[in-house]
């Protein structure tokens, strides 16, 4: 047994990639994508025919619809390989517009359904964890459209997502780690901040324990990992979405050399003394504002995804 096999004993393994030709090697249950991953994939020769085919079939459509059709094309290819769900992201430029997010999500769902996909069981719509994004997710879940709330860095975002009844959240372990390491500068002690003491790991554990303690059904999927140590420290989390590079590293490590142990356990979490938190919009915005790391990383993440959406549009315009 390798460490990837060991991890699967407690955690659903999800591949974080647009490069779906890599999926067979790791046999993930689910897969996640984002605009940056799709942009990276379509610049490879293996995937250029998909881009060209979308442009040929849908010439004359508005660019935003072409983008959605490209995302759905990748999603359908991924679903032909994996047994579970794919996450497809709404344009990050709509992160502060709940109505527009809902409309765009519904269009994406319609495109999947037109391809014969059972969207209730096989699709998650990814939305940034802004107040507006969480409100959009609440409305989508009420319509039976399941959501994956991404760019999540703080407990207040997780608490609001739980209250909204979203299907799944993706707390970004690695980006939290990055912020604290950069903030500490020369005083950063890597060994002291590794494993269960990693600030990203601690954030996910807090959210996981809170959800399990209060019977919140929202699934927790740790994301954005920098090393296998972070993954090992979250063994037992509901899901973990992992890059192909780290999946390969886990699969190459015999579990007998450094056996993984379950780090997160729902029964243990359910016994902890954790108060229930309910946030209205004003309280949410204040709590997020008080968390400098979450405020900065959320804004940075939206800017980065928006910038890659613009780059993808430019690439598609030039290729048309």
Q: How far is the C-alpha of 156 from the C-alpha of 291, rounded, in Å?
A: 9
Q: Is 306 left (phi over 0), alpha (psi -120 to 50) or beta?
A: alpha
Q: Residue 273, SS3?
A: coil
How many CB atoms neighbour CB 59 within 10 A?
9
Single out the catalytic residue among 126, 167, 212, 297. Answer: 126
Could you tell me the two tokens for 72?
């759905």
37-47 in b/e form (b: 16+ CB < 10 A) is bbbbbbeeeeb
Non-local (6+) Cβ contacts of 11 within 8 A are 234, 235, 236, 237, 238, 239, 240
As a whole number of angstroms, the distance between CA 188 and CA 184 comes to: 5
- Retrieve residue 274's tokens: 């954790």
Euclidean distance between the first and the last CA atom of the chain, given in angstroms as a whole number = 48
Asked if 54 contacts 70 with a C-beta cutoff of 8 angstroms, the reply is yes
Number of Cα atoms under 13 Å in the Cβ half of residue 320: 17
57 is catalytic: no
Neighbours of 161 (CB within 10 A): 28
Q: Which residue carries 């590079």 as its tokens? A: 245
Look at residues 203, 205, 217, 208 and name the one whose alpha carbon lies nearest to residue 162: 217
The residues carrying an active-site annotation are 126
């Amino acid at each position: 047994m390798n460490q990837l096999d060991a991890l699967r004993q407690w955690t659903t393994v999800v591949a974080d990639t647009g490069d779906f030709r890599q999926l067979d090697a790791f046999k993930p249950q689910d897969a996640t994508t984002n605009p940056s991953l799709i942009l990276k994939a379509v610049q490879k020769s293996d995937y250029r025919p998909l881009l060209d085919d979308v442009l040929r079939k849908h010439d004359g459509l508005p660019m935003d619809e072409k983008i959605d059709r490209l995302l759905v094309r990748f999603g359908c290819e991924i679903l032909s390989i994996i047994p579970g769900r794919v996450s497809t992201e709404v344009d990050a430029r709509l992160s502060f517009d709940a109505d527009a997010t809902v409309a765009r999500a519904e269009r994406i769902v319609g495109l999947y359904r037109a391809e014969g996909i059972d969207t209730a069981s096989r699709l998650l719509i990814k939305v940034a964890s802004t107040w507006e994004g969480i409100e959009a997710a609440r409305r989508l879940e009420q319509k039976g459209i399941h959501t994956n709330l991404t760019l999540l860095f703080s407990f207040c975002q997780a608490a609001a997502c739980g209250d909204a009844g979203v299907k799944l959240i993706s707390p970004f372990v690695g980006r939290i780690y990055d912020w604290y390491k950069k903030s500490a500068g020369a005083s950063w002690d890597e060994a002291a901040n590794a494993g269960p003491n990693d600030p990203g790991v601690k954030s996910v554990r807090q959210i996981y324990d809170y959800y399990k303690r209060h019977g919140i059904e929202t699934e927790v999927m740790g994301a954005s990992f920098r090393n296998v140590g972070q993954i090992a420290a979250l063994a037992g989390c509901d899901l973990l979405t992992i890059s192909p590079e780290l999946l390969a590293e886990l699969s190459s490590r015999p579990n007998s050399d450094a056996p993984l142990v379950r780090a997160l356990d729902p029964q243990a979490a359910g016994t902890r003394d954790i108060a229930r938190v309910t946030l209205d919009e004003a309280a949410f915005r204040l709590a997020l504002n008080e968390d400098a790391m979450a405020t900065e990383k959320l804004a940075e993440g939206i800017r980065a995804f928006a910038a890659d959406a613009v780059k993808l549009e430019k690439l598609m315009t030039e290729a048309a």
